[in-house]
Amino acid sequence: MKFVWILGLFVIIVGCNSSKSTTGGAAAYSSYQENLTNSLPAYPDYKAELAALESNKVTASVKTVDAELNQKITEIYDKNLLEPYFNGYSVLVYSGIDRTKAFETQEELAENFPDIKPEMQYQEPRYLVKVGKFNYKIEAQKSFSLIKSQFPTARIIQDRFQRKEYEAPEILDSNAERQN
């Protein structure tokens, strides 16, 4: 036990002696210099190269990108016009198998909300009473919040709508057998 005390005292004394402050302070390092130029990578003058690139390419590349973008937008627009349906949202007010309840719901909607036109669909075996044809869910939110006060079971659903400008192709007698 005595040995442990002596060893501890020795460690404390040696630790205190080694913590002396260095002499000289900041004055000792005032003349220190380090030259790292040989180890640094060499880069070309970026300002001159950037100016050369901007003068030649900027106007040409912007025009090409704009032309390609306009062409792609036109292609997508034309393709979408050929499709007979588009995806969107509507407010589903009633869904069930009771036909009289569906008609009652439609009439009640017309009475309570004269500016909203309800639409009934039959998807076997159920009747659906829907309101609106919206492209985005946020557009359907206004009608939904109005209807929700009178019809608590109403909800916003995804739906498919036929485009107004789409005309179905004519079925000629010669190819009528191949068409469904």
Question: In sequence order, what are the residues at sequence separation of 6 or more whose Cβ sits closer than 8 angstroms to the Cβ of residue 143?
Answer: 91, 116, 131, 132, 134
Whether residue 72 is predicted with pLDDT greater than 80 in this model: the reply is yes
Domain count, the chain: 1
pLDDT per residue over 37-47, tens digit each? Answer: 888 888 888 88
pLDDT value at position 127?
A: 93
User: What's the pLDDT band for 61 if we cut at 50, 70, 90?
Assistant: low
Asked if the structure places residue 101 within a domain, the reply is yes
Question: Is 158 inside any structural domain?
Answer: yes
Residue 156 domain boundaries: 86-162
Q: What is the mean pLDDT of residues 40-59?
A: 76
Asked whether residue 62 is domain-assigned, the answer is no
Per-residue pLDDT tens for 131-168? Answer: 998 989 999 999 899 999 889 999 999 998 887 766 65
31 inside domain: no
Does residue 76 fall inside a structural domain? no
Confidence label for 50 from pLDDT (cuts 50, 70 and 90): confident
Check residue 95 and report its DSSP letter. Answer: E
Question: pTM here?
Answer: 0.51
The CATH number linked to 92 is 3.30.70.1070
Q: Is residue 156 part of a domain?
A: yes
Residue 108 resides in a domain: yes
Contact criterion met (CB below 8 Å) for 118 and 147: no
Using pLDDT thresholds of 50, 70 and 90, give the confidence band for residue 48. Answer: confident
Predicted pLDDT at 177: 55
Residue 146 is assigned to a structural domain of this protein: yes
Q: Smallest Cα–Cα separation from 94: which of 153, 50, 26?
A: 153
